[in-house]
Structure 1
Amino acid sequence: MTNGWRALVVVLGLLTLPACGQDTSVSEAISPAYRQMLKTLYRETVPTIQPAALADMLRAKSQKVVLLDTRTPAEYKVSHLTGAKFVNFDSFEKNEFTGLSRDQTVVVYCSVGARSERVGERLKALGFRDVRNLYGGIFQWVNEGRPVYNAAGPTRQIHPYSALWSVWLRQGEQVYK
C-alpha cells in the first residue's frame, strides 16, 4: 500500500470516530467515510451483496451458496463466516477452483472487500456465473452484529488485518495472531 493510500485510510478512519456520547449501536448504517473508502478501493468488476442480504440467503437455504474467505491463514484462523472455505489470497491466481460448480452462487469476502474482489474477478474469468463480493467484507458483517466462528465455535475475535485497517472494525475483539 502506498503512503498516499495509508494516509487516506487513516484520515477517513479518524473522520468516522464517534463524538463523545454519540450512540454507536450495532444497527447504525455504514458510515459515510467507510462507504467512500470502499468506493475508492472497489473496481466494481464483481457485483456486491450486502451483509443483510447474504444473511437472509444463508438462513433461507433455498439456494446453495459457497462462501470463500480470501484472507490470509492467520486471519481465517482467528475467525470466519460459518461454513466458509479458505482460499489463500497470496496464491489464488494459481487456483483453478476445481470441485466448485460454475453454476452455483459464490460469495467471496476478505476484511473490507478489496482482496476478495480480485478473487471474484478470477472466478468470473474461469466461467463462474454468479459471483458476488460481500460489501464491506467481514468487517461490515461483524459491525452489523453478525456472528463469526473459529475452530472452537462462535467467537467475538476478529483479525483486523493491520493497525491501519483496524479503524474500520467497530465491533468484536481485535486479535492479531
Structure 2
Amino acid sequence: MKRAFLAYMGICLGSLTACGQTEPGKAAGPSPGYTRLLQTLYRNTVPTVMPAALAKELRQPADVLLLDSRTPVEYKVSHLRGARFVHYDSIATEKFEGVDRSRPVVVYCSVGYRSERLGERLHALGFKQVRNLYGGLFEWVNEGYPVYNAQGPTKNVHPYSLLWSPWLKQGNKVYK
C-alpha cells in the first residue's frame, strides 16, 4: 500500500488540480483528490464526523471529549480548543482511566489515519461513542474552523511533513 500511496502522491504533487484540488471560489468540503487519499488510508473501523457537523455540535453545550493523537510538536503548534493530547506512540498502552466510557469522544490527527487507530483502541477499551474527524485537522482548517495554541487562536498549523503539506490549503504551515 505504501508504494501505491507514494505513487498517488507523486501524481498529485505534480498536478494538484488534476488530483481534484478545490479551485478558489468552489464549495467547501474535502476536494475529490483529498477524498480519494482518505479512502486509501481509512479502514472505516471508526465512524467519522464531518468538520461542519462537529463545529455545530461544539457550539452547543456538550460533553464531547476531543482527543488529539499527533506528536507533541504538532499539538504545540495548534489544536482544537479544549482538546486533550494523546501521544500517538502511546496509544497501545494508554488506558484512559477515569474517563467515562459512555462520554462522546471525537479523535483527530492531521488527516485521520492516526486518530482512526486511536478510535480503534478506544473501542477495544469499551468506549461506546467514538468518532473520527473526517479529514483531520487539515480539513478542519481548510474549511475555515479555528485552531488554538497556548497563547490563544492561531493560524499556524503543523503540516506533519512536506509530503502531506499540499493537503493543507489554509493556515500558516509551521514546522517547529
Q: Is TM-score (shorter-chain normalized) higher than 0.5? A: yes
User: Where does residue 6 of structure 1 map in the other structure?
Assistant: 6
TM-score normalised by length of structure 1: 0.92
Which secondary structure state, in structure 2, belongs to the residue aligned with residue 94 of structure 1? coil
User: Where does residue 43 of structure 1 map in the other structure?
Assistant: 43
Q: Deviation per CA, 1:21-74: give whole Å up to 9, x if none.
A: x8524853321110010011000000000000000110012x310000000000
Contact 1:113 1:134 in 2 (8 A): yes
| 1:60 and 2:48 aligned | no
User: Where does residue 103 of structure 2 map in the other structure?
Assistant: 104
CA separation of 1:25 and 1:174: change in aligned 2, threshold 3 A: farther
User: Where does residue 33 of structure 2 map in the other structure?
Assistant: 33
Contact 1:26 1:144 in 2 (8 A): no
Deviation at 1:11?
Answer: 2.0
Contact 1:26 1:145 in 2 (8 A): no
Which secondary structure state, in structure 2, belongs to the residue aligned with residue 97 of structure 1? coil
Which secondary structure state, in structure 2, belongs to the residue aligned with residue 5 of structure 1? helix
User: Where does residue 81 of structure 1 map in the other structure?
Assistant: 80
- Equivalent residues in 2 for 1:95-174 (5 A)? 95-174=94-173
The amino acid of 1:109's aligned partner reads Y
Q: Deviation per CA, 1:65-111: give whole Å up to 9, x if none.
A: 00000000000000000000000001111000112110010000000
Which secondary structure state, in structure 2, belongs to the residue aligned with residue 40 of structure 1? helix
The amino acid of 2:38's aligned partner reads L
How many pairs were matched up?
173
Which stretch shows the higher mean deviation, 90-99 or 26-35? 26-35
Q: Aligned partners of 2:13, 2:132: CA distance in 1, in Å?
A: 22
The amino acid of 1:114's aligned partner reads Y
Q: Aligned partners of 2:104, 2:32: CA distance in 1, in Å?
A: 29
Q: Deviation per CA, 1:120-154: give whole Å up to 9, x if none.
A: 00000000000000000000000000000000100
Contact 1:46 1:120 in 2 (8 A): yes
Deviation at 1:2?
Answer: 3.4
Contact 1:70 1:108 in 2 (8 A): yes
CA separation of 1:70 and 1:51: change in aligned 2, threshold 3 A: same
Q: Aligned partners of 2:167, 2:143: CA distance in 1, in Å?
A: 12
Q: Aligned partners of 1:39, 1:89: CA distance in 2, in Å?
A: 21
Contact 1:16 1:31 in 2 (8 A): no
Which stretch shows the higher mean deviation, 91-100 or 156-165? 91-100
CA separation of 1:156 and 1:11: change in aligned 2, threshold 3 A: same
